[in-house]
Amino acid sequence: AQSVTQLGSHVSVSEGALVLLRCNYSSSVPPYLFWYVQYPNQGLQLLLKYTSAATLVKGINGFEAEFKKSETSFHLTKPSAHMSDAAEYFCAVSDRRSNYQLIWGAGTKLIIKP
Protein backbone atom coordinates (compact mmCIF):
# COMPACT_ATOMS: atom_id res chain seq x y z
CA ALA A 1 0.00 0.00 0.00
CA GLN A 2 1.11 3.52 -0.66
CA SER A 3 2.30 5.67 2.21
CA VAL A 4 3.96 9.02 2.81
CA THR A 5 6.28 9.96 5.63
CA GLN A 6 7.10 13.55 6.45
CA LEU A 7 10.01 13.89 8.81
CA GLY A 8 9.29 16.45 11.52
CA SER A 9 5.87 17.70 12.53
CA HIS A 10 7.44 21.13 13.10
CA VAL A 11 10.42 22.72 11.36
CA SER A 12 11.81 26.07 12.47
CA VAL A 13 14.15 28.18 10.32
CA SER A 14 15.36 31.74 10.46
CA GLU A 15 14.18 34.26 7.92
CA GLY A 16 16.57 34.13 4.96
CA ALA A 17 17.74 30.59 5.73
CA LEU A 18 17.29 27.50 3.60
CA VAL A 19 14.00 25.66 3.94
CA LEU A 20 14.12 21.87 3.68
CA LEU A 21 11.01 19.80 4.30
CA ARG A 22 11.45 16.07 3.93
CA CYS A 23 9.07 13.63 2.29
CA ASN A 24 9.55 9.93 1.63
CA TYR A 25 6.96 7.79 -0.10
CA SER A 26 6.26 4.21 -0.93
CA SER A 27 4.57 3.16 -4.12
CA SER A 28 4.84 -0.03 -6.12
CA VAL A 29 4.10 1.71 -9.42
CA PRO A 30 5.28 5.04 -10.84
CA PRO A 31 3.89 7.71 -8.58
CA TYR A 32 2.58 11.20 -8.94
CA LEU A 33 3.88 13.36 -6.10
CA PHE A 34 2.55 16.61 -4.72
CA TRP A 35 3.29 19.29 -2.19
CA TYR A 36 0.36 21.28 -0.87
CA VAL A 37 0.44 24.23 1.52
CA GLN A 38 -2.19 25.43 3.95
CA TYR A 39 -1.82 28.99 5.19
CA PRO A 40 -3.61 29.89 8.42
CA ASN A 41 -7.38 29.94 7.99
CA GLN A 42 -7.17 29.00 4.32
CA GLY A 43 -7.68 25.89 2.21
CA LEU A 44 -5.08 23.62 0.67
CA GLN A 45 -3.14 25.08 -2.25
CA LEU A 46 -0.96 23.14 -4.68
CA LEU A 47 2.69 24.20 -4.50
CA LEU A 48 4.07 21.83 -7.08
CA LYS A 49 3.67 18.36 -8.56
CA TYR A 50 5.77 15.63 -10.13
CA THR A 51 4.12 13.65 -12.91
CA SER A 52 7.03 11.71 -14.47
CA ALA A 53 8.53 14.55 -16.47
CA ALA A 54 11.55 16.47 -15.15
CA THR A 55 12.77 15.22 -11.78
CA LEU A 56 13.40 18.74 -10.52
CA VAL A 57 10.06 20.49 -10.20
CA LYS A 58 9.64 24.19 -9.67
CA GLY A 59 6.57 25.49 -7.94
CA ILE A 60 5.05 28.71 -6.76
CA ASN A 61 6.60 31.15 -4.29
CA GLY A 62 10.17 30.02 -5.03
CA PHE A 63 9.73 26.43 -3.85
CA GLU A 64 11.09 23.42 -5.68
CA ALA A 65 11.31 19.69 -5.10
CA GLU A 66 13.42 16.90 -6.53
CA PHE A 67 12.13 13.42 -7.23
CA LYS A 68 14.74 10.82 -6.34
CA LYS A 69 13.52 7.36 -7.22
CA SER A 70 16.49 5.56 -5.65
CA GLU A 71 15.80 7.27 -2.33
CA THR A 72 11.98 7.29 -2.71
CA SER A 73 12.12 10.92 -1.71
CA PHE A 74 10.51 14.17 -2.80
CA HIS A 75 11.96 16.80 -0.49
CA LEU A 76 10.76 20.41 -0.70
CA THR A 77 13.27 23.26 -0.64
CA LYS A 78 13.43 27.02 -0.83
CA PRO A 79 16.75 28.88 -0.79
CA SER A 80 15.64 31.76 1.42
CA ALA A 81 12.72 31.67 3.84
CA HIS A 82 10.29 34.57 4.14
CA MET A 83 7.98 35.26 7.04
CA SER A 84 5.07 34.70 4.68
CA ASP A 85 6.14 31.06 4.22
CA ALA A 86 4.89 30.18 7.68
CA ALA A 87 2.24 27.54 7.03
CA GLU A 88 1.60 23.82 7.14
CA TYR A 89 3.00 21.79 4.26
CA PHE A 90 1.67 18.44 3.10
CA CYS A 91 3.29 15.87 0.84
CA ALA A 92 0.99 13.49 -1.04
CA VAL A 93 1.30 10.60 -3.48
CA SER A 94 -1.09 9.09 -5.94
CA ASP A 95 -0.86 6.36 -8.57
CA ARG A 96 -3.08 4.20 -10.72
CA ARG A 97 -3.31 1.49 -8.07
CA SER A 98 -4.94 3.96 -5.69
CA ASN A 99 -7.24 5.18 -8.46
CA TYR A 100 -5.28 8.41 -8.22
CA GLN A 101 -6.72 9.29 -4.83
CA LEU A 102 -4.25 11.31 -2.79
CA ILE A 103 -2.42 9.56 0.05
CA TRP A 104 -1.13 12.15 2.49
CA GLY A 105 1.71 12.66 4.88
CA ALA A 106 0.97 13.95 8.36
CA GLY A 107 2.03 17.51 7.51
CA THR A 108 4.90 19.72 8.64
CA LYS A 109 4.37 23.11 10.23
CA LEU A 110 7.01 25.55 9.07
CA ILE A 111 7.92 28.22 11.60
CA ILE A 112 9.92 31.24 10.48
CA LYS A 113 12.00 33.02 13.10
CA PRO A 114 12.67 36.72 12.53
83 binding other proteins? (CB under 8 A):
no
Q: Is 104 in the site for other proteins (CB under 8 A)?
A: yes
* Strand pairing category for 103-104 and 87-94: antiparallel
Q: What x-and-dash track marks residues 10-49 binding other proteins by CB under 8 A?
A: ----------------------x---x-----xxxxx--x
Q: Of 70 and 100, which CB lies nearer to other proteins in the complex structure?
A: 100
Closest by alpha carbon to 88, among 27, 3, 10, 1?
A: 10
Residue 100 binds other proteins (CB under 8 A):
yes
Residues near 54 by beta carbon (within 8 Å), at least 6 away in sequence: none
The alpha carbons of the chain give a radius of gyration, in whole angstroms, of: 13
The footprint of other proteins on this chain (CB under 8 A) covers a number of residues equal to: 22
Nearest by Cα to 13 from 92, 59, 76: 76
Among the listed residues 7, 11, 17, 102, the single contact to other proteins using CB under 8 A? 102
Nearest residue to 49 via CA among 85, 28, 13, 76:
76
- Sites of contact with other proteins (CB under 8 A): 4, 32, 36, 42-46, 49, 51, 90, 92, 94, 99-107
